[in-house]
Amino acid sequence: MRDLGKMMKQVQKLQQDVARLQEELKAERVEATAGGGVVRAVANGHGELQEVTIDPSVVDPSDIGLLQDLVVRRGQRSAAPGETKS
């Protein structure tokens, strides 16, 4: 029975460690750019988009589709492995 108690303590510690690491990951910030840097997206370590910055020079009211495509493309890649942390 002592082995079972020891194993349960190890499982509880592992669960606490996992919860702590998940919180730390959520605090991480991953940044990526598109269009030569005119669109910048920041996501947390869980891949949740936190921020989008768009250079006003790329905003053309007659071609809003291009802007939307740039935002979507960058948002999809901002949490990709190997991107730059900010």
Condensed to tens digits (0 to 9), the pLDDT of residues 20-48 reads: 998 888 888 989 998 898 888 888 888 88
Q: What is the distance in angstroms between the CA of the first residue and the CA of the last residue of the chain?
A: 49
Q: Whole-angstrom Cα distance, residue 83 to residue 16? A: 28
Residues in the chain: 86
The structure's pTM equals: 0.56
Under DSSP, the state recorded for 60 is: -
Any idea which of 1-5, 40-44, 59-63, 81-85 has the lowest mean pLDDT? Answer: 81-85
Determine the average pLDDT of the residues in 45-66. Answer: 81
